[in-house]
A and B are shown apart, each in its own frame.
Chain A
């Protein structure tokens, strides 16, 4: 089973104090830690688990600058066989559609049985790249997958719906699945893995390798464009409780009694 995984390196912002930079179109990324997109870490783990079970290869793709090599190497160290980075000045500023477009062209050059992507990326949250790649490659897809069973020439996938309901679907291979968190437990990178990676070269594909025109990728190939960023309006917002922890506790106690009917 030959599997392709598309991944992205993103800044870790959940715990960080983030601010908008001077351009007003991006956040200030200095001082932020970067890592493999959370959803992608489950996708790569799932691919490696499948490979361990059924044999074959895992190839990782990422569209991004040289920094993305860090995440590609992480995937290689986890157990992927090859990594390819899509990089070209023309790719800059692309949205989910343009990113998918470039990736789809690259994947067209490679035989595969299964493509895995994350359900969405932590940073821009388009949740779109996987399904668009599938469309462009004319293969079936299933989104938000939290369980996979491989069968003869097809896959049974559990798709997560709302309210704890799941939908079980069957797709013929080759197919694309977008992976949901929690499907597995992503492994740690081992030193053995890093040693293996050190000998590997990460291939770079540019515009000319992909049979794409500059106007088909990057900002010019995008559906949408970012105008400006702003902090979400707080609305009525929360009444911030201040003071000593004991005073705050006292207030919480009163709220629980008044509003929660705490005995």
Chain B
């Protein structure tokens, strides 16, 4: 029986959304190849997670070990090397997340499995797979095939690329697999989690967010956008480069490594729409994007688009709304 294996991602006792997305896509692919779906779950004291996953797949492969309490690329690589070597899944699917980006490339190289990273489309094709990736910050899509022939392949999957679809339950079982880990020293050790300092602002509670990106060009133009936010009763947010350049505090950052927001209205100004940003704001009620590039990927998630130079349009919108509000 052909098997598709997904690696469940969890942190601090909770499964991460990407796990459900992997399961949905994995299930669809396993049906397409008339195979089965397995979920590899590595951790310590995660049986409740295994139970939650059980009926979504044909089986949960549970490896529990004290040494797996915290994610570590080295322990993951050892456990998954053994698991994949034994079970020979035709496809291993891992999230293209901070975790997946960390361990998948090394694991694939170690196992000599062909790997395609950050996939947003995956199709079974005879005994191989064809995938779609995005390049140039999401401005271009690339259809990609595996050059090296399997029988096993690996992909990392962009979070949010595939929706979670509820399907009829499967007769899942939890199979406990002994951990191959020993006390042999690890060259990498987990120490602790820390919350990044975010400053005072809380952008997650706002009804209206006005988010500014690198298109703003310099710190001194931020007040112009702030004025717009003030005028419309919104809160200022931003994309990552704006925080990297220290123009706004980390607490304003929307995206995978920042905040996930769901305001009623989200106005994206001079933001290209990289997936890491979109992941944090696509749940917004209504998205308005202002960008001078008509091909900017942000326009494919927005409901309303304005192709314009932000320096020209933002003051006009601000003034006009001020006037209309009177």
Contacts and interface: CB of A to CB of B under 8 A. Distances in A.
A163 B118 contact: no
Interface string B264-281: 110100001000000000
A260 B265 contact: yes
Interface string A123-161: 111111111101110011111100000000000101111
A188 interface: no
Interface residues of B, number: 106
B187 interface: yes
Interface in A150-200: 156, 158-172, 175, 181-182, 185
Contact of B286 (A124, A162, A255): A255
B52 interface: no
Given A222-B147, A223-B115, A226-B144, A163 B257 contact: yes
A261 B73 contact: no
A20 B141 CA distance: 10
Interface stretch (A10-18, A44-52, A78-86): A10-18
B120 to A, nearest CB: 9
Contacts of B117: 96, 125-128
A238 B257 contact: no
A169 B74 contact: no
A97 interface: yes
A134 B316 contact: no
A224 B96 contact: no
B98 A160 contact: yes
Interface size class of chain A, counting residues whose CB lies under 8 Å from the partner chain: 35 or more
Contacts of B16: 162
Contacts of B259: 163-164
Given A225-B147, A230-B143, A175 B187 contact: yes
Interface stretch (A65-73, A206-214, A239-247): A239-247
A262 B305 contact: no
Contacts of B142: 226-229
Interface string B211-250: 0001100000000000000001110000011011110001
Given A131-B103, A246-B316, A261-B207, 6 more contacts: A166-B196, A181-B240, A222-B148, A227-B143, A228-B142, A262-B208
Interface of B: 11, 16, 70-74, 96-99, 101-106, 108-110, 114-118, 130-131, 133-148, 186-196, 198, 207-208, 214-215, 232-234, 240-241, 243-246, 250-251, 253, 256-260, 263-265, 267, 272, 285-289, 293, 295, 297, 299-300, 302-308, 312-313, 316-317, 319-321, 324
Interface of A: 11, 13-15, 17-18, 20, 27, 96-97, 100, 119-120, 122-132, 134-136, 139-144, 156, 158-172, 175, 181-182, 185, 219-220, 222-235, 237-241, 245-246, 248-253, 255-256, 259-263
20 contacts: A13-B136, A14-B137, A125-B117, A139-B187, A161-B99, A162-B97, A164-B195, A168-B191, A168-B193, A181-B244, A237-B305, A238-B304, A245-B313, A245-B320, A246-B316, A249-B313, A249-B317, A249-B320, A253-B320, A259-B285
